[in-house]
Amino acid sequence: MTSEARATRVRIAPSPTGALHLGTARTALYNYLYARKNGGAFIFRLEDTDNERSNEKYTEDIIEGLKWLGITWDEGPDIGGPYPPYRQTEKIDHYESMANKLLASGFAYLCYATPDELASMKEEQKAKNESIRYDNRYRNLSQDEKEKFEKEGRIPSIRFRIEEPQKIKWHDAIKGQIEVSSSDLGGDMIIVKSNGVATYNFAVVIDDIDMQMSLVLRGEDHIHNTAKQLLIFEALGETPPHYGHTALMFDTEKRKLSKRRHGESVHIAKYREDGYMPEALVNYLAQMSWTPENGKEIFTLEEACQWFDIKKVSKSPAVFDIDKLNWFNAHYIRSLPIETVVERAMPYLADFDLSSYSQDSIKDMIELLRESLVKLADIKDSAAFFFGDTVPVEQEVKDSVLTAAEAKTVLEALRANISKIPFTDPKGAKAVVDELGKELGLKGKNLYWPVRVALSGKTQGPDLGSIICILGEKRVACRLEAALGLCKTT
């Protein structure tokens, strides 16, 4: 079957050797969008053959992270599917038998190079400033030579022949025509290591055959791998899928995003912890290298599924700009249904004693504060003044605001008129303050700052009427009293 005639089947194939990376999440997202747009299947499978580095905690992190983003799959290690298994460690024998086919047909051979031998080959090449490659030295061993190595106890790996020179060409779904010279592929490649485990480039081909992939969409760091993989498909007499390579992600200083340089901020879990909205991350990652035909910048995952067009995915490097992500996040915090935001914000309020507030007041509080949040974790600071009997006031603010003569006048007047404040009506509550201002001949910061500082400890903040209503009569009275105390003693 030609790959054109295949049903749409795409995949993400992460290695559980680290937490879910932004780049992997973006690749998963583009594959997911492609599958949904084309009515196809999106497959999740695990490349977990690296025993030393693979860890189940990373598998969980990757699965949870993708699900959190709203990316779901139709087949995978957790849900099964028609082409199991979806973990490479469960297919070791199968890879070996496929490698044996290539041995039998002469496309592969047993290589007896020892690790020391390979290391010194590398050193010599380095010393001569040559590119590092296997020199194909054991390609054509006689039976006697093989037996001699076997007797020495050498355990062979299986290498695939890469004939040179030749051009490996394909039409890339994103980059257009691509051509790679086989001389740039590092010599004959190992497909099964001496410990019997298949290498990435081999196992991935077998999986893509087994699972009938129609398109492989992944980062452009895989271009040389694609060239190698195409040779394996050919040797096995199989039609390869189409390929598409997305540009890699860089920071605003044009440096590749890496754990080493950027720490935890390359991981989805970090954003989850800090209270980023999955809707914001998905929107941000999706539009990073693709803009819908209608030019919209803000869109949901469902809309992206309808609008996604692989032909419009950009070839230029993707830039991860935290300020832009923050802009998306603030937008979603402000515009998602308040119930959603309340539910997600609650864990960040866990350190406060919420028992003195009704659920409605907490909701009002979050609704008020969300206007200025960049990420939900920030609510910890911005909500702090609502809790506790008193609010801390910085000395500087105390000196500049509460010592002014007007401060005492305003706060005393408000205390005397507290019964006039409608505590369920923020506009009405603010109007009481305004009215007092008129009576006292005070306005602007002379009027509002003392009240704000008394109630919240700060001169700036969210709507004053709402603050008054959420705090409620008792707390307002208490705070006015405390601030007046500060007025008197200063």
Which residues are catalytic, by number?
259
Return the number of the residue (62 or 162) whose C-beta is nearest ligand GLU: 62
Shortest spacing between CB 16 and ligand GLU, in angstroms: 9
Return the number of the residue (23 or 156) whose C-beta is nearest ligand GLU: 23
Return the number of the residue (36 or 45) whose C-beta is nearest ligand GLU: 45
Binding segment toward ligand GLU, per CB under 6 A, in 8-16, 61-69, 99-107, 363-371? 8-16
Return the number of the residue (26 or 452) whose C-beta is nearest ligand GLU: 26
Q: How many CB atoms lie within 10 A of CB 481?
A: 13
Asked whether the beta carbons of 456 and 401 are under 8 A apart, the reply is no
Q: Is 54 in the site for ligand GLU (CB under 6 A)?
A: no
List the one residue out of 250, 276, 234 whose CA is nearest residue 102.
234
Rounded to 5 degrees, what are φ and ψ at 216? -110, 115
d(Cα 403, Cα 165) in Å, to the nearest integer?
85
Output the six-digit token pair for 86. 């979806």
Binding segment toward ligand GLU, per CB under 6 A, in 10-18, 280-288, 461-469, 471-479? 10-18
What is the Cβ-side half-sphere exposure of residue 392, based on CA atoms within 13 angstroms? Answer: 4
At what angle are helices 464-489 and 359-369 packed, to 10 degrees?
90
Shortest spacing between CB 87 and ligand GLU, in angstroms: 12
Q: Is 48 in the site for ligand GLU (CB under 6 A)?
A: no
Binding segment toward ligand GLU, per CB under 6 A, in 12-20, 101-109, 453-461, 464-472? 12-20
Where does residue 332 rank: exposed (0-12), middle (13-18), buried (19+ CB within 10 A)? Answer: buried
Q: Is 414 in the site for ligand GLU (CB under 6 A)?
A: no
Shortest spacing between CB 93 and ligand GLU, in angstroms: 20
Output the six-digit token pair for 161. 């022949």
d(Cα 58, Cα 71) in Å, to the nearest integer?
17
3-state secondary structure (DSSP) of residue 375: coil
Q: Is 318 in the site for ligand GLU (CB under 6 A)?
A: no
Return the number of the residue (218 or 398) whose C-beta is nearest ligand GLU: 218
Element (H, E) at 347: none
Q: Is 15 in the site for ligand GLU (CB under 6 A)?
A: yes
d(Cα 289, Cα 219) in Å, to the nearest integer?
12
Q: For tokens 């979603």, name the residue.
A: 332
Shortest spacing between CB 71 and ligand GLU, in angstroms: 15
Return the number of the residue (242 or 408) whose C-beta is nearest ligand GLU: 242
Total interface residues for ligand GLU by CB under 6 A = 7
Q: Is 204 in the site for ligand GLU (CB under 6 A)?
A: yes
Shortest spacing between CB 204 and ligand GLU, in angstroms: 5
Binding segment toward ligand GLU, per CB under 6 A, in 7-15, 338-346, 385-393, 444-452? 7-15
Q: Binding residue for ligand GLU (CB under 6 A) from 9, 10, 13, 112?
A: 13
Q: Is 14 in the site for ligand GLU (CB under 6 A)?
A: yes
Return the number of the residue (109 or 320) whose C-beta is nearest ligand GLU: 320
Per-residue burial over 305-329, b = 16 or more CB atoms within 10 Å of its CB, e = otherwise: bebbebeebeeeebbbeeeebeebb
Shortest spacing between CB 18 and ligand GLU, in angstroms: 10
Shortest spacing between CB 200 and ligand GLU, in angstroms: 6
Return the number of the residue (226 or 329) whose C-beta is nearest ligand GLU: 226
| 302-306 long-range contacts, CB within 8 A, separation 24+ | 304/33, 305/32, 305/33, 305/36, 305/37, 306/37
Handedness of CA 231, 236, 238, 241 (dihedral sign): negative
Q: Binding residue for ligand GLU (CB under 6 A) from 26, 36, 159, 218?
A: 218
Q: Is 47 in the site for ligand GLU (CB under 6 A)?
A: yes
Asked whether the beta carbons of 70 and 300 are under 8 A apart, the reply is no
**Cα distance between the two ends of the chain:** 87
Shortest spacing between CB 285 and ligand GLU, in angstroms: 16
Output the six-digit token pair for 372. 């200025």
Applying CB under 6 A, the residues found at the interface with ligand GLU are 13-15, 47, 204, 218, 222
